[in-house]
């Protein structure tokens, strides 16, 4: 037993470790560092991975309602910017994007036509023609389309490379600013991310 160890003392024959002196400044600096790290992580996630949005308007009814709170997944778009490889969303994805007119306004719509598709809106429905479907198909035949209203408009357009054709789910005349109207096709580089989940209202929580 080393009785000369300065970290220990003997009292009543019991070897006891001396209490170490606390450094209040070190504790304070650790707390500050944790707050800064948490803040930086939150900023990084919000900028590059996830972002919260609130729906403003009725253009995506009945799928989304005014004031719904959403979480948008941005990582695929971020990875595309880093790697230089173009990010093309899937048909049927609900995406958030910047308006092509150069303003900071953002819209949320559903992807209907991909690069190279011919999109025809006629007789209250959408038909998409491409190499895999030369006879055409209705993209709204997917489960999301069960409760959608008939699609208004009169469009016949081939989607160029680097762009997509989008529609709001509310297809009645004038209900949605989208590719059937003056908005036109949306450049892929304007995409912010795709809808991941609706978390408010809590009773209508849904993963997309």
Catalytic residues: 59, 109
Close Cβ partners of 183 (under 8 Å, ≥ 6 residues apart): 99, 100, 107, 166, 177
- Spell out the residues 6+ positions from residue 77 whose beta carbon is closer than 8 angstroms to its own: 87, 191, 192, 193
Closest residue by Cα to residue 96 from 81, 76, 79: 76
Return the sign of the alpha-carbon dihedral for residues 195, 54, 177, 81: negative
Residue 112: half-sphere exposure toward Cβ, Cα within 13 Å: 35
Tokens (6 digits) for 57: 């308007």
Measured distance CA(100)–CA(146) in Å, rounded: 30
Q: Which of 114, 87, 116 is nearest to 190 (CA)?
A: 87
d(CA 88, CA 95): 11
């Amino acid at each position: 037993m080393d009785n000369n160890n300065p970290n220990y003392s003997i009292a009543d024959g019991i070897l006891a470790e001396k209490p170490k002196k606390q450094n209040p400044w070190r504790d304070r600096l650790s707390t500050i560092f944790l707050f800064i790290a948490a803040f930086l992580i939150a900023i990084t996630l919000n900028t590059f991975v996830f972002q919260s949005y609130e729906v403003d308007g009725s253009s995506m009814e009945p799928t989304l309602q005014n004031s719904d709170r959403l979480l948008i997944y941005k990582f695929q778009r971020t990875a595309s910017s880093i790697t230089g490889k173009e990010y093309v969303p899937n048909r049927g994805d609900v995406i958030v994007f910047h308006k092509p007119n150069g303003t900071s306004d953002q819209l949320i719509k559903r992807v209907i036509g991909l690069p190279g598709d011919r999109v025809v809106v006629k007789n209250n429905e959408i038909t998409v023609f491409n190499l895999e479907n030369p006879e055409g198909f209705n993209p709204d035949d997917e489960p999301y389309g069960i409760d959608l209203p008939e699609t208004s408009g009169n469009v016949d357009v081939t989607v160029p490379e680097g762009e997509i054709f989008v529609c709001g789910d509310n297809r009645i005349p004038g209900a949605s600013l989208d590719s059937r109207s003056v908005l036109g096709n949306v450049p892929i580089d304007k995409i912010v991310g795709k809808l991941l989940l609706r978390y408010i209202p809590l009773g209508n929580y849904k993963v997309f």
